[in-house]
Amino acid sequence: MHQGHDAQPLPLRAGAGGGLSAQTGHSGGFRRAVPLDGWSPLWTGLARVGGVLPSAGRAHADPWALLRRGEHPSGRGRADGRLVRADRSARSDGAPRFDAQIAPGGYGWWYVDAISEDPKGGQGRHGLTIIAFLGSVFSPYYKASGRGAPLNHAALNVALYGPKARWAMTERGQGEVTQERDALAIGPSSVRWTGQALEIDIVEQDKRLGIPWQRPVRGTIRVFPEALNPVSFALDPEGKHTWHCLAPRARIEVDMREPGVSWTGRAYLDSNFGSESLEEGFDVWHWSRAHLRDGALVCYEGTRSDKSHFASAIRFDAYGTPQQVELPMTAPLPNTLWQMERKTRGDRGHASVIKTWEDAPFYARSTLASRLYGEQVVAVQESLDMRRFASPVVQFMLPYRMPRVAS
């Protein structure tokens, strides 16, 4: 592990065009959709019961019009903002710290994603995302409460993709949250930085309403950064929202007891913090990350709530040092079943979806086949629409997806 490189990155300028791209080449695994395990059928059914979508079989010119109200046509305008260096939440060595103070109305999260390396040299049979939330940004309970007590709305979201898929996200109150510099406990689960690895002990259960099986999700995951980055970046001019790519490249060991699955692969680790809600700061964003031969690349762009745009491509070298690079060309991607717009960046503006990991009315996460700076890569991509999140339709459905336990 390399630490202590303090090279100052150049300001991250916006490039012409907007979006991210990838190439239609394919690198093993995730050729077919992993079942959404009750997500889309449940949400669609609830929307119909609530009268916000037409009944099955009824003709409708655009059944998603209510969710798309106020959206801009794809590709309008150009990026005219840039990400600049910030210092929030960073330690001098770039390691995560979990004792950050979350302001009323604000949030903090720590995010891990990973793709398995399969025995025959491919990658992608298994995948995962794990997010530890304080001031849970997508919580309908936090939003309804006025967001005055962020620690009273905490959750560990665990999503396992591929064979033996699982999904869990239970919100817990402040009495079940313990913050220390190197450790965070949310209910029975915990996240701990050992000095060499991030250890995640998972003791969760799928408690979604409408899922007939309340399956446990238990196991241990270890993330070993190949390099640590001490530099964080502001996503807005006022610095109300910051992003810190802690480990652009990492190795991961997954040992799940329930379901019984173990694998190793490549991972990524970052954190985000904000002093206001996401919907106060942003309309939409598109983010992606990919490992390169000697480092990694993150593309981050979107539209803020004041209609200003931001877009940056940040390349990390083998030591984790970030540097501004030219944005690859925009590559549109097909909309999801919920008609979420997705886009990415890549050489010649080409990309293809290998697998849609998450498909929700306001959020999508996918793996992509892409070529970046001449290298064939597998990327993880997400698209977020906070206008959709704030709609009464989505707020009505969210408690069924994210239950809360009393504390």
The 10s digit of each residue's pLDDT in 259-296 is 999 999 999 999 999 999 999 999 999 999 999 999 99
Question: Are the C-beta atoms of residues 296 and 307 closer than 8 Å to each other?
Answer: no
Establish if 290 belongs to a structural domain. Answer: yes
Q: What single letter denotes the amino acid at residue 156? A: L
Confidence of residue 86 (pLDDT cuts 50, 70, 90): confident
Cα 183-187-193 angle, rounded to 5 deg: 15
Question: Are the C-beta atoms of residues 385 and 69 closer than 8 Å to each other?
Answer: no
Confidence of residue 73 (pLDDT cuts 50, 70, 90): very low
Number of compact structural domains in the chain = 1
Q: Please, which residues bridge with residue 358 across strands?
A: 365
The pLDDT of residue 26 is 34
pLDDT in tens, 183-219: 999 999 999 999 999 999 999 998 876 666 789 999 9
Confidence of residue 85 (pLDDT cuts 50, 70, 90): confident
Confidence of residue 23 (pLDDT cuts 50, 70, 90): very low
Establish if 12 belongs to a structural domain. Answer: no
The pLDDT of residue 76 is 32
**Domain ranges, residue 194:** 39-54+69-401
Structure tokens at 295: 């480092």
Establish if 382 belongs to a structural domain. Answer: yes
CA 317 to CA 320: how far, in whole Å? 5
Using the predicted structure, report yes or no on whether residue 61 has a pLDDT greater than 70. no
Structure tokens at 27: 């690198």
The CATH number of residue 340's host domain is 2.40.370.10
CA 119 to chain centre: 27
CA 397 to CA 208: how far, in whole Å? 11
Question: Are the C-beta atoms of residues 407 and 174 closer than 8 Å to each other?
Answer: yes
Establish if 202 belongs to a structural domain. Answer: yes
The pLDDT of residue 43 is 52
pLDDT in tens, 340-372: 999 999 999 999 999 999 999 999 999 999 999
* CB proximity list for 35: less than 8 A, separation 6 or greater: 165
Structure tokens at 31: 């050729």
Instruction: Determine whether 61 is exposed, middle or buried from the number of CB atoms within 10 Å of its CB (0-12, 13-18, 19+).
Output: exposed
Establish if 196 belongs to a structural domain. Answer: yes
Cα 250-110-278 angle, rounded to 5 deg: 130
Establish if 407 belongs to a structural domain. Answer: no
Structure tokens at 124: 């992608």
Question: Are the C-beta atoms of residues 133 and 102 closer than 8 Å to each other?
Answer: no
CA 273 to CA 282: how far, in whole Å? 14
Using the predicted structure, report yes or no on whether residue 150 has a pLDDT greater than 50. yes
Establish if 383 belongs to a structural domain. Answer: yes
Question: How many CA within 13 A on the CB side of residue 88?
Answer: 24
The pLDDT of residue 53 is 45
Using the predicted structure, report yes or no on whether residue 64 has a pLDDT greater than 90. no
Establish if 6 belongs to a structural domain. Answer: no
